[in-house]
Protein backbone atom coordinates (compact mmCIF):
# COMPACT_ATOMS: atom_id res chain seq x y z
CA UNK A 1 0.00 0.00 0.00
CA UNK A 2 1.44 3.35 -0.99
CA UNK A 3 2.01 6.14 1.46
CA UNK A 4 -0.64 8.28 -0.19
CA UNK A 5 -3.22 5.50 -0.09
CA UNK A 6 -2.41 4.92 3.53
CA UNK A 7 -2.79 8.62 4.31
CA UNK A 8 -6.13 8.79 2.57
CA UNK A 9 -7.69 5.55 3.61
CA UNK A 10 -5.90 4.80 6.88
CA UNK A 11 -4.20 1.58 7.93
CA UNK A 12 -4.94 -1.64 6.04
CA UNK A 13 -6.96 -4.32 7.72
CA UNK A 14 -3.86 -6.41 8.41
CA UNK A 15 -2.39 -3.57 10.50
CA UNK A 16 -5.48 -3.61 12.65
CA UNK A 17 -5.81 -7.38 12.83
CA UNK A 18 -2.27 -7.71 14.11
CA UNK A 19 -3.37 -5.74 17.17
CA UNK A 20 -5.96 -8.33 18.14
CA UNK A 21 -3.82 -10.27 20.69
CA UNK A 22 -2.72 -7.09 22.46
CA UNK A 23 -6.25 -5.69 22.48
CA UNK A 24 -7.60 -8.93 23.84
CA UNK A 25 -4.98 -9.01 26.58
CA UNK A 26 -5.89 -5.49 27.63
CA UNK A 27 -9.63 -6.14 27.41
CA UNK A 28 -9.28 -9.28 29.48
CA UNK A 29 -7.18 -7.49 32.08
CA UNK A 30 -9.87 -4.83 32.34
CA UNK A 31 -12.87 -7.12 32.45
CA UNK A 32 -11.55 -10.55 33.53
CA UNK A 33 -14.27 -11.96 31.35
CA UNK A 34 -13.15 -13.84 28.23
CA UNK A 35 -16.47 -13.49 26.39
CA UNK A 36 -16.75 -9.80 27.13
CA UNK A 37 -13.11 -9.23 26.19
CA UNK A 38 -13.68 -10.99 22.89
CA UNK A 39 -16.73 -8.84 22.20
CA UNK A 40 -14.86 -5.67 23.08
CA UNK A 41 -12.01 -6.52 20.74
CA UNK A 42 -14.38 -7.36 17.91
CA UNK A 43 -16.28 -4.13 18.36
CA UNK A 44 -13.04 -2.15 18.61
CA UNK A 45 -11.60 -3.60 15.41
CA UNK A 46 -14.86 -3.03 13.63
CA UNK A 47 -15.00 0.63 14.71
CA UNK A 48 -11.32 1.12 13.95
CA UNK A 49 -11.86 -0.18 10.43
CA UNK A 50 -14.83 2.09 9.92
CA UNK A 51 -12.92 5.11 11.22
CA UNK A 52 -9.57 4.21 9.72
CA UNK A 53 -9.38 7.37 7.67
CA UNK A 54 -9.32 9.38 10.90
CA UNK A 55 -5.93 8.01 11.86
CA UNK A 56 -3.28 10.45 10.74
CA UNK A 57 -0.20 9.00 12.39
CA UNK A 58 0.34 5.41 11.26
CA UNK A 59 2.82 4.92 14.09
CA UNK A 60 0.08 5.62 16.59
CA UNK A 61 -2.30 2.93 15.42
CA UNK A 62 -2.06 0.93 18.63
CA UNK A 63 -2.84 3.71 21.14
CA UNK A 64 -5.54 4.90 18.73
CA UNK A 65 -7.16 1.45 18.71
CA UNK A 66 -6.86 1.13 22.48
CA UNK A 67 -8.50 4.50 22.84
CA UNK A 68 -11.42 3.24 20.76
CA UNK A 69 -11.61 0.18 22.95
CA UNK A 70 -11.64 2.36 26.05
CA UNK A 71 -14.72 4.11 24.72
CA UNK A 72 -16.34 0.79 23.82
CA UNK A 73 -15.66 -0.30 27.38
CA UNK A 74 -17.23 2.86 28.78
CA UNK A 75 -20.26 2.32 26.55
CA UNK A 76 -20.55 -1.20 27.88
CA UNK A 77 -20.39 0.00 31.47
CA UNK A 78 -22.99 2.68 30.82
CA UNK A 79 -25.27 0.08 29.29
CA UNK A 80 -25.28 -1.85 32.52
CA UNK A 81 -28.47 -0.98 34.27
CA UNK A 82 -27.01 -1.27 37.74
CA UNK A 83 -24.60 1.59 37.09
CA UNK A 84 -25.47 5.00 35.81
CA UNK A 85 -22.45 6.96 36.96
CA UNK A 86 -19.35 5.77 35.17
CA UNK A 87 -17.05 7.99 37.19
CA UNK A 88 -18.12 6.51 40.47
CA UNK A 89 -18.11 3.11 38.86
CA UNK A 90 -14.46 3.60 38.01
CA UNK A 91 -13.65 3.86 41.67
CA UNK A 92 -15.63 0.91 42.83
CA UNK A 93 -16.06 -1.76 40.22
CA UNK A 94 -14.26 -4.98 40.80
CA UNK A 95 -14.35 -7.89 38.43
CA UNK A 96 -16.40 -10.83 39.59
CA UNK A 97 -13.56 -13.24 40.13
CA UNK A 98 -12.45 -15.23 43.10
CA UNK A 99 -10.46 -13.59 45.83
CA UNK A 100 -6.70 -14.16 45.84
CA UNK A 101 -7.11 -16.34 48.91
CA UNK A 102 -9.49 -18.69 47.13
CA UNK A 103 -7.31 -18.86 44.06
CA UNK A 104 -4.10 -19.59 45.88
CA UNK A 105 -5.82 -22.30 47.87
CA UNK A 106 -6.29 -24.02 44.53
CA UNK A 107 -2.67 -23.42 43.65
CA UNK A 108 -3.52 -21.16 40.79
CA UNK A 109 -1.04 -18.44 41.14
CA UNK A 110 -1.79 -16.82 37.83
CA UNK A 111 -5.37 -16.55 38.90
CA UNK A 112 -4.12 -15.20 42.20
CA UNK A 113 -2.32 -12.30 40.55
CA UNK A 114 -5.25 -11.70 38.23
CA UNK A 115 -7.62 -11.74 41.16
CA UNK A 116 -5.45 -9.22 42.94
CA UNK A 117 -5.51 -6.98 39.86
CA UNK A 118 -9.25 -7.46 39.62
CA UNK A 119 -9.62 -6.15 43.14
CA UNK A 120 -8.25 -2.81 42.09
CA UNK A 121 -10.68 -0.03 41.23
CA UNK A 122 -11.30 -0.05 37.51
CA UNK A 123 -9.61 3.27 36.83
CA UNK A 124 -6.42 2.08 38.50
CA UNK A 125 -6.64 -1.28 36.78
CA UNK A 126 -6.83 0.36 33.38
CA UNK A 127 -3.76 2.48 33.96
CA UNK A 128 -1.80 -0.38 35.48
CA UNK A 129 -2.53 -2.77 32.63
CA UNK A 130 -1.81 -0.25 29.90
CA UNK A 131 1.55 0.63 31.43
CA UNK A 132 2.61 -2.84 32.52
CA UNK A 133 1.17 -5.07 29.83
CA UNK A 134 1.62 -2.96 26.74
CA UNK A 135 4.26 -0.59 28.06
CA UNK A 136 2.51 2.51 26.85
CA UNK A 137 4.19 5.77 27.82
CA UNK A 138 2.39 7.78 30.48
CA UNK A 139 1.56 10.41 27.89
CA UNK A 140 -0.02 7.77 25.66
CA UNK A 141 -2.07 6.41 28.55
CA UNK A 142 -3.22 9.94 29.35
CA UNK A 143 -4.29 10.38 25.76
CA UNK A 144 -6.00 6.97 25.52
CA UNK A 145 -8.00 7.46 28.72
CA UNK A 146 -8.39 11.19 28.22
CA UNK A 147 -7.06 12.10 31.64
CA UNK A 148 -4.18 14.33 32.81
CA UNK A 149 -0.76 12.72 32.99
CA UNK A 150 -0.60 13.49 36.72
CA UNK A 151 -3.70 11.39 37.19
CA UNK A 152 -2.04 8.55 35.31
CA UNK A 153 0.90 8.69 37.70
CA UNK A 154 -1.17 8.86 40.85
CA UNK A 155 -3.48 6.06 39.76
CA UNK A 156 -0.52 3.91 38.84
CA UNK A 157 1.12 4.54 42.16
CA UNK A 158 -2.03 3.69 44.08
CA UNK A 159 -2.62 0.61 41.97
CA UNK A 160 0.83 -0.83 42.56
CA UNK A 161 0.78 -0.09 46.28
CA UNK A 162 -2.56 -1.84 46.62
CA UNK A 163 -1.47 -4.76 44.48
CA UNK A 164 1.69 -5.26 46.49
CA UNK A 165 -0.30 -5.21 49.71
CA UNK A 166 -2.79 -7.78 48.48
CA UNK A 167 -0.06 -10.13 47.25
CA UNK A 168 2.08 -9.72 50.34
CA UNK A 169 -0.86 -10.60 52.52
CA UNK A 170 -1.40 -13.66 50.45
CA UNK A 171 2.22 -14.75 50.41
CA UNK A 172 2.38 -14.83 54.18
CA UNK A 173 -0.07 -17.69 54.15
CA UNK A 174 1.37 -19.28 51.02
CA UNK A 175 4.64 -20.41 52.57
CA UNK A 176 3.01 -23.62 53.67
CA UNK A 177 1.84 -24.46 50.18
CA UNK A 178 2.00 -28.17 49.36
CA UNK A 179 4.05 -27.57 46.21
CA UNK A 180 7.08 -26.91 48.37
CA UNK A 181 8.86 -30.06 49.32
CA UNK A 182 11.64 -30.75 51.69
CA UNK A 183 14.52 -32.29 49.78
CA UNK A 184 15.99 -35.38 51.34
Among 1, 7, 58, 133, binds another protein (CB under 8 A): 133
Write the CB contacts of 108 (distance below 8 Å, at least 6 apart in sequence).
none
129 binds another protein (CB under 8 A): yes
**Closer of 81 and 184 to another protein (Cβ):** 184
Rounded to 10°, the helix 20-31/122-132 angle is: 150
Residue 67 CB, shortest distance to another protein, in Å, is 19
Query: Residue from 15, 28, 52, 142 that binds another protein (CB under 8 A)?
Result: 28
* Burial label, 100 (beta-carbon count in 10 A; 0-12, 13-18, 19+): buried
Q: Residue 156 CB, nearest distance to another protein (Å)?
A: 6
CB-based contact 113:167 (threshold 8 Å) = yes
Answer yes or no whether residue 96 interacts with another protein by CB under 8 A.
no
Q: Considering the rule CB under 8 A, would residue 56 count as an interface residue with another protein?
A: no
Amino acid sequence: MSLITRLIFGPPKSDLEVLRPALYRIAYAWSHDAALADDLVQETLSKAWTRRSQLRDAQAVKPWAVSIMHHCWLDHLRSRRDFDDVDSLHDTLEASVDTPEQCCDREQVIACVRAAVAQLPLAQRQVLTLVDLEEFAYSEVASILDIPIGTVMSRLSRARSALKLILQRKMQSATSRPTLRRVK
